[in-house]
């Protein structure tokens, strides 16, 4: 069973079509990465899966459910926003537990889930700090922690490392790979960085002007690019 499926998905902004019929099955537990140049529609496609952007045509399934018309809160997916979306006046503990508190979960449940997230994300020593007293990488982990506690069907990331410096980007890449191995959850990840895609993805979806140019494992795309666009995009060293 695929955990998320897109069927003939299109997006129009007025008269302009930016997503041009995308079919894709994403397996449960898969780390799938959308790559492509700026403006090709990566963020729009991710936002449609999240429900933050309406789907003009086609369908989006989450598990067996047709989620096309569901609001974001009903889809059970977690969009991980950049670290600057943390609440500055709250401790790490309160940031991570915020969604559970807002949902009226009992205190003990919140504590248990927040402690578990802290353990998985190695945030135990920082739980009483405010975001401003954390490094960029730690903030990023707190941002992920806020989603983990809700046991999402999938995590959605839009260029989560793009604001970080080069060294931290490499470190976070490693952290994300580790996180995926330990959580075993579906991750849908957008980047324009080929290296990031090649090192993290189970499968890469190459988007070209709102269409899928090719889908495959990093190895498949590298060894057998379907067209010149894919070859140039995947093959060009950074
Ligand atoms: P990417 O994330 O790959 O850089 P986007 O999904 O952000 O690309 O954008 C795809 C195309 O859709 C671009 O041409 C962009 O200008 C256009 N677009 C995105 N959002 C809107 C919007 N709200 N209204 C009109 N056009 C938009
Ligand atoms: Mg984008």
Q: What confidence score (pLDDT) does residue 2 get?
A: 57
Residue position matching structure tokens 């991570």:
96
Q: What confidence score (pLDDT) does residue 41 get?
A: 97
Going from the first residue of the chain to its last (238 residues), give the mean pLDDT of each consecutive group of 10, the final group possibly shorter.
88 98 97 95 97 97 96 91 81 95 95 93 94 87 88 91 81 86 90 92 97 96 92 70
Q: What confidence score (pLDDT) does residue 83 get?
A: 59
Gap between the Cα atoms of 175 and 183, Å rounded: 12
Among the bound ligands, name the one nearest to the CA of residue 44.
1
Gap between the Cα atoms of 33 and 204, Å rounded: 5
105 C-alpha to ligand 1 centroid (Å)? 37
Gap between the Cα atoms of 60 and 11, Å rounded: 12
Q: What confidence score (pLDDT) does residue 136 get?
A: 78
Q: Whose CA is nearest to atom 20 of ligand 1?
A: 44
12 lines ligand 1 (CB under 6 A): no
Among the bound ligands, name the one nearest to the CA of residue 22.
1
93 lines ligand 1 (CB under 6 A): no
Q: Which of 12, 17, 18 has most ligand 1 atoms within 8 Å of CB, for mutation?
A: 18
107 C-alpha to ligand 2 centroid (Å)? 37
Q: What confidence score (pLDDT) does residue 1 get?
A: 46
What is the DSSP code string of 209-229? TTEEEEEE-HHHHHHS-SSHH
């Amino acid at each position: 069973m695929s955990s998320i499926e897109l069927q003939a998905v299109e997006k129009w902004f007025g008269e302009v079509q930016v997503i041009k019929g995308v079919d894709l099955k994403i397996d449960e537990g898969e780390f799938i990465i959308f790559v492509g140049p700026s403006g090709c529609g990566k963020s729009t496609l991710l936002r449609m899966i999240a429900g933050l952007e309406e789907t003009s045509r086609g369908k989006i399934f989450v598990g067996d459910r047709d989620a096309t018309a569901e609001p974001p809160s009903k889809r059970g997916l977690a969009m991980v926003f950049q670290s600057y979306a943390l609440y500055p006046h709250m401790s790490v503990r309160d940031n991570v537990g915020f969604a559970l508190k807002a949902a009226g979960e009992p205190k003990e449940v919140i504590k248990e889930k927040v402690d578990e997230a802290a353990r998985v994300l190695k945030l135990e020593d920082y739980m009483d700090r405010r975001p401003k007293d954390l490094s960029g990488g730690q903030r990023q982990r707190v941002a992920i922690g806020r989603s983990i506690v809700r046991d999402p069907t999938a995590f959605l990331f839009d260029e989560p490392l793009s604001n970080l410096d080069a060294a931290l980007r490499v470190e976070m890449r490693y952290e994300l790979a580790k996180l995926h191995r330990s959580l075993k959850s579906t991750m849908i990840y957008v980047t324009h960085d080929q290296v990031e895609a090649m090192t993290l993805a189970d499968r890469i979806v190459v988007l070209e002007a709102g269409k899928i140019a090719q889908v495959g494992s990093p190895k498949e795309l590298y060894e057998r690019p379907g067209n010149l666009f894919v070859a140039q995009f995947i093959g060009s060293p950074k």
